[in-house]
Amino acid sequence: MTHALKTDNSDGLIRQKALWMRQQALKMVYDKQLGHLGGDFSAIDVLATLYFGVLRFDPERPDWADRDRFVMSKGHATGALYTALAAAGYYPEAWLDTYMEHHSKLNGHPNRQYLPGVETNTGPLGHGFPVALGIAIAGQMAGADYRTYVLTGDGEQQEGSNWEAAMTAGNRRLKNLTLIIDRNRLQQGAPTEETNGLDPLDDKYRAFGWQVVEIEGHDYGQLLETLGAPVGDRQKPLCVIANTVKGKGVSFMENQAKWHHGVPNAEQFAQAMKELI
Ligand SMILES: Cc1ncc(C[n+]2csc(CCOP(=O)(O)OP(=O)(O)O)c2C)c(N)n1
Ligand SMILES: [Mg+2]
């Protein structure tokens, strides 16, 4: 089965998948008492939109040469990635129950040797974007029509390797490359702007030769329109600054730095599940 694309009911489908992903990520992290729910929840609407409204892929052929590529550069957000790949049909949903167990294919960070659908191993911040750049350059050189999407955290943007990738993409006019920045304004223990400020992030990317669009990162209409837009006449790589809320969907996790890698107790788990409807 080849998944493609925006249909009339895609908004409803994306919403339904995103809800399921949030519920499953919460269960995984609660069961194993390990994970990064804050960053999972800020990214899940982006991933649900990509896998159920934008990307061209076939879960039965993970190495299909013409597939669009998605690189999860913020590799700590495995609750978002693993649930998206299960929902997309790359492996059985039951695999999610093995998250973080010994010999599981679902490690704390994604490993492409074990898990179909993972384009490259990530976890060390600042690593995925340069790899996505290479994938996009290869596509450009081969004259292939696949598109490459990469999602980084905003704290992750403080890593210098991103800026080397940004400069090269701009110079090469890599119109087949879309960078999405999960702009939740929090990193591990503090706001980004109090740590190593990024603003004005849009001007920085424009100066590096990118087209920049800023959107509401939990609005499926805006996500679909921006990420699904055909490359068309665009002459530059596209940077999408997705304004998000860390912990989105669970009231007591939203915008709280401690929920970067906080894990719920039984009472919090029950409360969070009640809110995810
Ligand atoms: C090179 C590197 N340094 C430190 C870490 C530990 N670490 C994991 S997540 C994180 C914060 C990331 O913040 P951000 O990119 O904003 O992610 P999000 O808010 O989306 O979770 C840190 C410091 C890491 N994975 N890699
Ligand atoms: Mg962040």
> What is the pTM (predicted TM-score) of this model?
0.96
- The Cα 18–Cα 29 span in angstroms is 16
Two tokens, residue 172: 């090469």
Q: Could you give the residue ranges of the DSSP H alpha helices within 33-181?
A: 37-49, 78-87, 128-142, 160-171
- The Cα 148–Cα 168 span in angstroms is 15
Domains and CATH numbers, the chain: 10-275 (3.40.50.970)
- Please give the average per-residue pLDDT across 37-63, as a whole number: 98
Give the pLDDT band of residue 10 (cuts 50, 70, 90).
Answer: low
- The Cα 136–Cα 147 span in angstroms is 7
Phi/psi region, residue 68 (left: phi>0; alpha: psi -120 to 50; beta: rest), is beta
Taking only the tens place, the pLDDT of each residue in 217-242 is 999 999 999 999 999 889 999 999 99
Tell me how far CA of residue 167 lies from CA of 152, 209, 229, in angstroms. Answer: 16, 7, 23
Q: Would you state the pLDDT for residue 11?
A: 78
Q: Would you state the pLDDT for residue 5?
A: 43
Residue in 182, 188, 196, 256 to alter for ligand 1 test, most ligand atoms within 8 A of Cβ: 188
- The Cα 127–Cα 110 span in angstroms is 13
Q: Would you state the pLDDT for residue 9?
A: 60
Ligand 1 contact via 185 beta carbon (within 6 Å) = no
Specify the amino acid at residue 84: A
Give the pLDDT band of residue 96 (cuts 50, 70, 90).
Answer: very high
211 has which bridge partners? 238
Q: Would you state the pLDDT for residue 3?
A: 44
Q: How far is the CA of 188 from the centre of ligand 1 (A)?
A: 6
Please report the atom of ligand 1 found closest to the CA of residue 246: 19
Q: DSSP label at 233?
A: T
Ligand 1 contact via 162 beta carbon (within 6 Å) = no
Crossing angle (nearest 10°) for helices 128-142 and 160-171? 20
Q: How far is the CA of 61 from the centre of ligand 2 (A)?
A: 32
Rounded to the nearest integer, the mean pLDDT of the chain is 96
Please report the atom of ligand 1 found closest to the CA of residue 244: 20
Give the pLDDT band of residue 4 (cuts 50, 70, 90).
Answer: very low
Taking only the tens place, the pLDDT of each residue in 153-205 is 999 999 999 999 999 999 999 999 999 999 999 999 999 999 999 999 999 99
The values of phi and psi at residue 55, to 5°, are -70, 145
Two tokens, residue 272: 């969070």
Query: How many other CB atoms are found less than 10 A from the CB of residue 58?
Result: 17
Taking only the tens place, the pLDDT of each residue in 105-161 is 999 999 999 999 999 999 999 999 999 999 999 999 999 999 999 999 999 999 999
Q: DSSP label at 76?
A: T
- Please give the average per-residue pLDDT across 18-24, as a whole number: 98
